[in-house]
């Protein structure tokens, strides 16, 4: 009954450096099913960021295949990848990455601009999303007027607005204190409970502990892939 | 797609007002000066064209030339080589439309207690046709007046103003010219200044014979100082000049080694050179103003480049959430075009305002044509596209991963 949202086969990525070809990712195989909550872990230089960029369709692999919702996207042209990023993937970044001069409503509605949705339905949907992350009434505020935790909620609302197949969060709590981090992780847990696939990239074990599955990278390989009891079990 | 994009561009313009305003200033000054300079240049062209049109078209003036009589030389216009009969012969040539002998000089005019010095033109009725000079009242003297040297006069507007009280009708009144009484039979329409700046309305026109016999005195009967010749068209002018020269040389029995004893002056050529001068001047003004438009465009490019660098992260975010390269390109291009078009509109208003101000404080003629406004607008839009394209392209070509990592 579970279908694969992500299936990568022999995925490799090499960078051209002054010292020659540097393989950052050396033939990775991984399948993530709909509704999973996966943490991708590993120290810096392990290849997890490269993997994340490939999963997010921000980059193209040098070898292997990547099936996103059953479509091989490995060698898709840039414009089609942009459409995938718009419709299929919701990004949450460590630095929130809200547009500082746009209202929260406009920030949340931004993906819909690129799906050619008109202004009124866009605003309506953006307000709904803000309410979903507990920020109703902030529609016209600017990002600088709210706290970091609230900004990350706005970013999550933005990621959710196009009903993506998966949420890709890159160190989502990296800029937050531990209390706020817990709140954000709770929100991810909640979204996962609603059936949304969540992929978390982190190097913090206690953040990764919220996920139900932990995939560990080292030197461009997956070194462990564990099902865990899931969130909350070893919360601090 | 363009709707939300325009909104975004508007938003971006508003988010850094000071910088947007300064960038726009370049366009404002550029467009403003183009519009103003073109208004002044076209105004000058218009003024010259007006002056030229008062002269009459396709005209030659044949002036009696240098003669040497026993060592005493006299210059053009004071010889006695031209004769009225020459004019009659010229009238028979092909492509010659009108011939009018002219004897011109300055005389003192008296009416009642007022007196005034004016140019007196002795000629025939065809002179008015050649000059396209209309009457405002009265009638023109005829050939019989010329034959019998009647003492009748047509008065120019300036003469009327200086000899008569306002509202007084000069027609039927008698003025004295060099103590000879003349009956005023008509008044001439205003013509304004000629190309030399002389007032063409400070003139009275009398029959040629009357001028020669009663006012100036001519030592040889039948001679005349100058003859005005109108060709049937501008194209016919060179051939008319040639045939007139040949005819006069033949009639004056000049040997091949003798110089012409007359001058042929082409009034159209003088007019053309005046028109050409103003045309070059207005082009020069436009060219100088265009330089400031170019500088304005470079200002836009400069700011857009800064803006792209500053907003690298934003571009990364936009790409990550689904903006295609052409969306980013459109966004930055629209921003540049909006800045330049808004600057252009303000510049247009200032330029037109400046032109009206120049018109108000000097008596310079100003012409604001739809064409020049359209050109300025088109150029501004083109400048926006041209100078906005490179920064926009740079933004669109950013790698989303690099852009997201940019601090």
Chain A contact present for B11, CB below 8 A? yes
Q: Across the interface, do A53 and B401 touch by the CB < 8 Å criterion?
A: yes
Is B267 within a domain? no
Q: Across the interface, do B325 and A158 touch by the CB < 8 Å criterion?
A: no
- Which tokens go with A168? 């890709």
Is B58 within a domain? no
Closest by CA to A41, choosing from A231, A233, A225, A227, is A225
pLDDT tens digits, B7-57 = 777 777 777 788 888 888 888 988 888 888 888 888 888 888 887 777 777
Q: Across the interface, do B313 and A82 touch by the CB < 8 Å criterion?
A: no
Is B279 within a domain? yes
> Closest approach of chain A CAs to the CA of B343, in angstroms?
23
Q: Across the interface, do A118 and B314 touch by the CB < 8 Å criterion?
A: no
Co-location of B46 and B172 in the same domain: no
**Mean pLDDT, to the nearest integer, of B64-91?**
70
Radius of gyration of chain B (CA): 33
Sign of the CA dihedral with A74 first, then A79, A83, and A86 last: positive
Q: Pick from A87, A114, A158: which is nearest to B327 by CB? A: A114
Chain A contact present for B322, CB below 8 A? yes
pLDDT tens digits, B265-280 = 887 777 778 888 888 8
Co-location of B237 and B336 in the same domain: no
- Report CA-CA distances (Å) from B95 to A159, A166, B89, B167, B233: 86, 91, 13, 43, 8
CA atoms within 13 A on the CB side of A48: 25
Co-location of B11 and B130 in the same domain: no
Co-location of B43 and B83 in the same domain: no
Q: Write down the pLDDT at residue A234.
A: 43
The packing angle between helices B325-361 and B370-396, to 10°, is 150
Return the number of CB contacts < 8 Å for A and B: 69
User: Are β-strands B59-64 and B174-177 bridged in parallel, bridged antiparallel, or unpaired?
Assistant: unpaired
Co-location of B216 and B131 in the same domain: yes
Q: Please give the residue range of the domain that contains residue B351.
A: 2-52+273-405
**Mean pLDDT, to the nearest integer, of B169-184?**
90
What is the number of domains present in chain B?
2
Question: Of B260, B293, B308, which residue is a domain's last?
Answer: B260
Q: Write down the pLDDT at residue A233.
A: 45
Taking the alpha carbons at both ends of chain A, their separation in whole angstroms is 35
Co-location of B310 and B371 in the same domain: yes
Is pLDDT above 60 for B201? yes
Co-location of B176 and B97 in the same domain: yes
Question: Of B260, B294, B315, which residue is a domain's last?
Answer: B260
Q: pLDDT band at residue B79, thresholds of 50, 70 and 90?
A: low
CB neighbour list of residue B363: distance below 8 Å, 6 or more residues apart: none
pLDDT tens digits, B99-139 = 999 988 888 999 988 889 999 999 998 898 888 888 888 89
Co-location of B96 and B207 in the same domain: yes
What is the DSSP secondary-structure string of A153-185?
HHHHHHHHTT--SEEEEESTTTTS-HHHHHHHH
The packing angle between helices B267-310 and B370-396, to 10°, is 30
Is B138 within a domain? yes
CA distance B220 to B150: 20
CB neighbour list of residue B16: distance below 8 Å, 6 or more residues apart: none
Three-class DSSP category at B34: helix
DSSP A209: T
Q: Write down the pLDDT at residue A41.
A: 93
Cβ-Cβ contacts under 8 Å, B7 against chain A: 119
Q: Across the interface, do B401 and A59 touch by the CB < 8 Å criterion?
A: yes
- Which tokens go with A91? 């990004």
CA distance B39 to B89: 47
List, for chain A, all residue ranges whose pLDDT scores fall below the cut of 50.
Answer: 1, 233-236
Is B61 within a domain? no
Q: Pick from A58, A78, A119: which is nearest to B320 by CB? A: A58
CA distance A123 to A116: 13
Most B CBs within 10 A among A76, A84, A113, hence the mutation to make, goes to A113
- Which tokens go with A130? 């803000």
Co-location of B133 and B159 in the same domain: yes
Co-location of B44 and B94 in the same domain: no
- Report CA-CA distances (Å) from B235 to B56, B58, B266: 16, 9, 13
Co-location of B23 and B98 in the same domain: no
Chain A contact present for B325, CB below 8 A? yes
CB neighbour list of residue B370: distance below 8 Å, 6 or more residues apart: none
Chain B contact present for A79, CB below 8 A? yes
Most A CBs within 10 A among B322, B399, B406, hence the mutation to make, goes to B322
Q: pLDDT band at residue B168, thresholds of 50, 70 and 90?
A: confident
Length reported for chain B: 407
Co-location of B197 and B319 in the same domain: no
Q: Across the interface, do A82 and B7 touch by the CB < 8 Å criterion?
A: no
Is B180 within a domain? yes
Domains and CATH numbers, chain A: 37-60+77-227 (3.40.50.300)
CA distance B64 to A118: 84
Is B57 within a domain? no
Question: Of B260, B282, B313, which residue is a domain's last?
Answer: B260
The packing angle between helices B325-361 and A78-87, to 10°, is 100
Q: Pick from A58, A99, A162: which is nearest to B400 by CB? A: A58
Q: Write down the pLDDT at residue B67.
A: 57
Is B218 within a domain? yes
> Closest approach of chain A CAs to the CA of B20, in angstroms?
15
pLDDT tens digits, B225-249 = 889 999 888 888 889 989 999 998 8
Interface ipTM:
0.90
CA distance A147 to A144: 8
Q: Write down the pLDDT at residue A28.
A: 92
């Amino acid at each position: 009954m579970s279908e694969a949202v992500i299936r990568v086969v022999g995925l490799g990525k090499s960078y051209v450096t002054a010292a020659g070809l540097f393989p950052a990712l050396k033939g990775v195989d991984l399948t993530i099913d709909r509704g999973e909550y996966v943490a991708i872990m590993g120290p810096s230089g392990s290849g997890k960021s490269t993997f994340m960029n490939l999963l997010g369709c921000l980059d193209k692999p040098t070898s292997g295949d990547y099936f996103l919702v059953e479509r091989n996207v490995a060698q898709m042209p840039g414009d089609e990848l942009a459409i995938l990023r718009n419709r299929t993937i919701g990004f949450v970044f460590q630095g929130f990455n809200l547009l500082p001069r746009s209202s929260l409503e406009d920030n949340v509605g931004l993906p819909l601009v690129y799906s050619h949705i008109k202004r009124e339905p866009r605003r309506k949907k953006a307000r709904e999303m803000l309410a979903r992350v507990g920020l109703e009434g902030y529609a016209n505020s600017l990002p600088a007027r709210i706290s970091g935790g609230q900004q990350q909620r706005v970013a999550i609302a933005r990621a959710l607005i196009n009903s993506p197949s998966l949420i890709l969060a890159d160190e989502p709590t990296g800029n937050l204190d531990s209390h706020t981090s817990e709140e954000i992780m709770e929100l991810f847990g909640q979204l996962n409970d609603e059936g949304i696939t969540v992929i978390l990239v982190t190097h913090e074990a206690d953040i990764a502990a919220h996920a139900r599955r932990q995939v560990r990278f080292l030197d461009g390989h997956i070194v462990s892939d564990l099902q865990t009891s899931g969130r909350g079990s070893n919360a601090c | 797609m363009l709707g939300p994009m325009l909104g975004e561009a508007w938003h971006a313009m508003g988010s850094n007002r000071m910088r947007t305003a300064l960038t726009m200033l370049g366009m404002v000054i550029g467009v403003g000066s183009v519009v103003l300079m073109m208004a002044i240049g076209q105004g000058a062209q218009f003024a010259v064209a007006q002056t030229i049109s008062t002269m009459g078209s396709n005209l030659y003036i044949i002036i009696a030339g240098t003669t040497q009589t026993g060592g005493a030389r006299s210059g053009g216009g004071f010889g006695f080589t031209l004769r009225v009969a020459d004019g009659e012969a010229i009238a028979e040539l092909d492509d010659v439309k009108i011939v009018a002998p002219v004897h011109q000089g300055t005389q003192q005019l008296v009416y009642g207690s007022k007196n005034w010095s004016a140019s007196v033109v002795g000629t025939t009725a065809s002179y008015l046709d050649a000059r396209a000079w209309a009457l405002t009242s009265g009638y023109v003297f005829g050939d019989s007046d010329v034959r019998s040297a009647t003492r009748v006069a047509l008065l120019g507007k300036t003469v009327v103003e200086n000899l008569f009280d306002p509202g007084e009708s000069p027609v039927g009144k008698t003025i004295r010219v060099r103590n000879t009484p003349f009956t005023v039979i008509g008044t001439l329409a205003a013509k304004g200044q000629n190309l030399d700046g002389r007032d063409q309305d400070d003139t009275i026109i009398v029959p040629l014979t009357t001028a020669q016999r009663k006012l100036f005195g001519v030592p040889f009967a039948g001679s005349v100082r100058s003859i005005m010749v109108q060709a049937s068209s501008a194209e016919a002018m060179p051939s008319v000049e040639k045939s007139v020269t040949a005819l006069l040389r033949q009639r004056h029995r000049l040997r091949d080694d003798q110089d012409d004893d007359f001058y042929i002056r082409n009034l159209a050529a003088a007019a053309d050179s005046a028109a050409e001068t103003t045309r070059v001047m207005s082009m020069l003004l436009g060219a100088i103003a265009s330089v400031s438009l170019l500088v304005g465009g470079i200002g836009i490019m400069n700011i857009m480049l800064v803006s792209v660098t500053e907003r690298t992260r934003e571009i990364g975010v936009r790409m990550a959430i689904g903006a295609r390269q052409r969306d980013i390109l459109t966004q930055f291009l629209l921003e540049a075009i909006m800045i330049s078009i808004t600057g252009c509109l303000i510049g247009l208003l200032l330029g037109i305002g400046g032109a009206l101000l120049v018109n108000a404080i000097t008596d310079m003629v100003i012409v604001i044509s739809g064409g020049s406004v359209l050109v300025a607008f088109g150029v501004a839009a083109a400048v926006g596209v041209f100078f906005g394209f490179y920064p926009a392209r740079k933004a669109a070509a950013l790698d989303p991963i690099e852009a997201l990592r940019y601090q």
